[in-house]
Structures are given as structure tokens and as C-alpha cells.
Amino acid sequence: MKSMVRALRWLARTLVIVLLVMVGSTILVRLAPGYLSDAREMDSRYADAARVQLSQEAARSHSLMEMLKSEIGEWASGSAGISRQFGVPVSELIRPRLAVTGGLMVRSLALGWILAIAAALISSAGPNPSALWQAPSTLLLAIPTAAMATLCLLAGSGGPVLVMALLLAARDFKFLHRTLRKAWLGPHVLQARAQGIRTRRILLWHLLPGIAPQLSALATLSIVTALSALVPVEVIFNVPGLGQLAWSAAMNRDLPVLLAITMMMALAVCLAGIAPERADEWKSA
């Protein structure tokens, strides 16, 4: 019974978040400068009938409530709408790009966590952790994601996976270093090391299970960080994913596409937030 109540509570919270994302995105796009203008109206290649159609579309967009009703109605009917820029259903644009972005996210998260955990284990296990381990992560955090991607592109080495992995590793390393340093100094870990138990056994049976809730919370933050880096990385490296599509939609004021991508990202963050809650329940049990 309790699990059902928690599931219903999570579902209601997710629906509220998605609805707020839809309303907020619609308001931001509608109030953006130049939303009611269209470059096609200045193109002589378009016939008068097409210009009239564009003018009617702009007239309908003057009412914010009508826009919200239209978008909510399209999503309630199972249709994400028609792209303003490409003139095709939004689902046809998102479906092939979702696999590209998903693959980029999985590879970046895996490589970033491997780098962060390896560096944190080495830096936290010694008796006097050196400050030199903090310098690379601090330097990487000081470089904007777009600048890092541009440097890799100009140098002709590296790629989108490496840039996102370095960003994730730099952010996760500091948290992992503090967490592991505190865990290594725990009484049960010190007792195990004093008894001569192997480091690998201590790590697998004493250290990692104790910091499982912190790791699950960090995993959620890693997903959010990766989502925030998608747009600059995919645009600079010309990756045909959701980030590049979101940038193109923003530049062309394509509201249906922007809504679909934003809502998918919000849903991904909500799903990622389940892990810390489950870890806390497991720890309390």
C-alpha cells in the first residue's frame, strides 16, 4: 500500500512539473523578442497566399491563452504538434535524434564516472591527500563547456564524448573525494585496514555500500549536468541530436519542438530522481 501511495505521489509530482514546464516554456517563447515576426514574409519567393497564412498564424499567436490551449490540446490528444520550421510532426524529428543523444549521454556518463572514481580513490586513500589532485578539476570547471568544445575542435583531437566526460568528471571528483575521504576514516574501515584486510575487499564490502545514497544522489546531478551540456556540445561538434535540434528550434521560434524537448528533459530529471529516494528508503530500512 505504501509503495502504491509513493508511486501515485511521484506520478502526480511529475505531471505537475511537466505542466509547469509546458506553461513556462510557452510563456518564455511567446514573450521572446521577435516571436511574431517571420523572415519568410520578406521573401519574394513566397506567394501572397502564403504571406496571408503567416499573418493569420501571427494573429493567433497574439493570445497567450490560445497558445497554451492549443499546445495542451495537442499533447492531450497524443500529438506533439507540427514543427513550425520543418512542417513535419515533431515525433518524426525527435525519434531518430533521441538515439543519438542517448548514446552520447550513456558514453559520457560512463567515461566521466570512471575518471572521477579512479581519481577520487587514489587521492582520498593516502594519509595526506595532495592539493595537486584538486588542480585539474578546478581548471576544468573554470573553462566553459562551449570553450572546451571549441578548443578540442580547433586542436583536431577529442570529441563530444570526451568534452562531456571531462565536465562530469571534474564536477563529480570533488564530491567523490570528500565522500571517500570521510569514508576511509570511518571506524569500521580503519579497523578492517588494521586487521590486514585487502583494500579491494574493504572497498567492495565496507566502503561503497556505506556511501550508496551519496552516489545515487550524485548520479542524478550527473544526469542534470550532462543534459545542460548537450546544446553547446552538439551544436559545436555538429552532432544530430536533441541538443542541436533544440538550438535550431530556439533560433527559429519553433514552439512545438522546444516544448517536446524541454518536457522530455524534465521527465528524464524526474526519473533520475527516483534513485536517491530508493537509496534513502533502503538505508533507513
Query: What CATH number is associated with residue 116?
Result: 1.10.3720.10
With respect to residue 251, please indicate whether it lies within any of the assigned structural domains: yes
Q: For residues 74 and 132, give the distance between their C-alpha atoms in angstroms, rounded to a whole number.
A: 55
pLDDT for the residue numbered 129: 58
pLDDT in tens, 70-84: 666 666 666 667 787
At residue 197, φ and ψ (nearest 5 deg) are: -70, 140
Query: Count of domains in the chain?
Result: 2
With respect to residue 81, please indicate whether it lies within any of the assigned structural domains: no
Q: How confident is the model at residue 50 (pLDDT cuts 50, 70, 90)?
A: low
Q: For residues 168 and 225, give the distance between their C-alpha atoms in angstroms, rounded to a whole number.
A: 7
Q: Calculate mean pLDDT across residues 95-116.
A: 92
Structural domain of residue 192, as residue ranges?
90-284
Judged against a pLDDT cut of 60, whether residue 100 lies above it is answered with: yes
Q: For residues 234 and 247, give the distance between their C-alpha atoms in angstroms, rounded to a whole number.
A: 9
With respect to residue 170, please indicate whether it lies within any of the assigned structural domains: yes
Q: Calculate mean pLDDT across residues 28-44.
A: 64
Q: 181 and 133, same structural domain?
A: yes
pLDDT for the residue numbered 134: 74
Q: 114 and 54, same structural domain?
A: no
pLDDT for the residue numbered 8: 80
pLDDT for the residue numbered 282: 45
Q: How confident is the model at residue 195 (pLDDT cuts 50, 70, 90)?
A: confident
User: In the chain, what percentage of residues exceed pLDDT 70?
Assistant: 75
Q: For residues 38 and 254, give the distance between their C-alpha atoms in angstroms, rounded to a whole number.
A: 11
With respect to residue 1, please indicate whether it lies within any of the assigned structural domains: no
Q: Calculate mean pLDDT across residues 101-121.
A: 91
With respect to residue 24, please indicate whether it lies within any of the assigned structural domains: yes
With respect to residue 83, please indicate whether it lies within any of the assigned structural domains: no
Residue 259 or 130, more confident: 259
Q: 102 and 206, same structural domain?
A: yes
Q: Is 68 exposed, middle or buried (0-12, 13-18, 19+ CB in 10 A)?
A: middle
Q: How confident is the model at residue 211 (pLDDT cuts 50, 70, 90)?
A: confident
Judged against a pLDDT cut of 70, whether residue 177 lies above it is answered with: yes
pTM: 0.76
